[in-house]
Structure 1
């Protein structure tokens, strides 16, 4: 989607120069009131002109922009930093181009396998295209305050940026639901090679960033960074999933213990045979393996038993 934004190229004057000229004009207005009736009429007219010209000043700080509108017609955007004077009949809509943070509160969604989870994100966004931001979405109506007694509405930069932030928040909610539904929470119900929300990390964040930029391109908004900052099972299944994770951890630990115990028993039998410590038939080996595995795999320390007879009864 192309942009219709272009730089403001109409007449503009250095603000300090125009301010000096207006001060000279003000002195002439005051002087004209001492010239009789004709001077008063002239002074009144010049006062009206002076007030109108005073409305043409515009000041821009770094990373600010002013959208110029002349009786409904888009005349470009002024991004040049400084103090200027332009046609006072221009409508000047100031926008902030600075980056902003947005912390999206955790929302409940279903992951790829249908488990309800809580997921939240934090993102950094900023305006990129002022034309789209002002005219492709109804940002000005969203930013306008409630009409006053005379039916008029007021405009401010903070209200305009709050309107954009609200637009980003709604689209972020939709994008987060879309991306979260493409991945499982973890590898319990999917293959170990499949990317999940817990293990995906950068891959999931990249997908989320692309989805957000696709949704917000129409509004001239760019997402600089987006990251998942909260991920958990929903409360109704959290306790069950915790017990399952604990069981999996116990099973995994037991596997390691058995693997190590078998290795130690094998080493012990090989040492006994290599060094001819004692001759053992198959029954004695089986009994020794059983005793060693019980000792090595038990949760508690083994209790020693003194055997005063033969090695095996």
Structure 2
């Protein structure tokens, strides 16, 4: 469990070092080199106790294998020279992961990359519960991505009942990613501030096929709208001709007119009209 260590002021021991330095000089001047050498050793020993803790930085202190506490108050400090000191930054850090290949819920290979914002919250866990907490965060983030991909399909083209997909899930998918990463890195005393998917695409081996499928789906949807509109226009044309009595059409002529109008309205290319200069009969 993390505990705070109250380190002494470094400036007070600077004064002690100045006194020792004066005594060393005095010893050599007075012809007493042996006490001066002892004072030099003491001067060097005290000097090893100085430590500077910058803002949003901490120092974990260990004495002969025993955890003695963590310094989080920034400033110029002095601690027991026998302490082993390990500095750990408390600043927020970014992890921009390289896209990795994973399988979505229905087995399609996709590429996913994430941006993770995190920081150390408990220095004891970060220093002693895992071997390398930075590498630990990277590996656990990758594991969380793999699990997240298995929960949702890439889109709902094949899984029509899926309400949330990786592509359209937005905040819900990101919240699930953040929760999953936070649970995994909690053992290392890491706080996850934000987790977001910043890259999402089909894997290269199926990207072309999926693009063609999406294009075909878009074409079918567009054709449906075109046909729906064309039927309405043909129906309106027949109704208007009947109401105004412009021309009398039997069922065969109506069928011919409907066929011609549907070809004109639904064709991919501009229609080329054929002008009939004789009787329509």
TM-score, normalising length: structure 1: 0.85
Judge conservation of contact 2:114–2:199 (CA < 8 Å) in 1.
yes
Match of 1:136 among 129, 136, 159: 129
Deviation at 1:67, TM superposition (A): 1.0
Alpha-carbon RMSD across the aligned residues, in angstroms, is 1.6
SS of the aligned residue for 1:92 comes to strand
Deviation at 1:192, TM superposition (A): 5.3
The answer on 1:243 being equivalent to 2:224 is: no
Distance 1:262 1:209 in 2: 50
Q: Which residue of 1 aligns with 2:185?
A: 216
SS of the aligned residue for 2:60 comes to strand
Match of 1:113 among 102, 106, 109: 106
Deviation at 1:116, TM superposition (A): 1.5
> Relative to structure 2, which stretch is displaced further, 173-182 or 115-124?
115-124
Match of 2:14 among 5, 16, 19: 19
Distance 2:162 2:225 in 1: 22
Match of 2:143 among 164, 174, 179: 174
Distance 2:153 2:53 in 1: 48
The answer on 1:263 being equivalent to 2:232 is: yes
Q: Which residue of 1 aligns with 2:29?
A: 34
SS of the aligned residue for 1:198 comes to coil
Distance 1:13 1:169 in 2: 37
Distance 1:182 1:193 in 2: 11
The answer on 1:196 being equivalent to 2:165 is: yes
SS of the aligned residue for 2:195 comes to strand
Q: Which residue of 1 aligns with 2:5?
A: 8
Distance 1:193 1:278 in 2: 53
Q: Which residue of 2 aligns with 1:234?
A: 203
In the comparison of the two structures, how many residue pairs are matched?
281
- Which digits, 9 at most, give the CA deviation of each residue in 1:215-255, with x for residues without a partner? 10001112222222222222222222222122112111111
SS of the aligned residue for 2:265 comes to helix
Distance 2:243 2:2 in 1: 86
Deviation at 1:131, TM superposition (A): 0.7
Distance 2:8 2:102 in 1: 55
Deviation at 1:193, TM superposition (A): 4.7
SS of the aligned residue for 2:168 comes to helix
Q: Which residue of 1 aligns with 2:59?
A: 66
SS of the aligned residue for 2:52 comes to strand
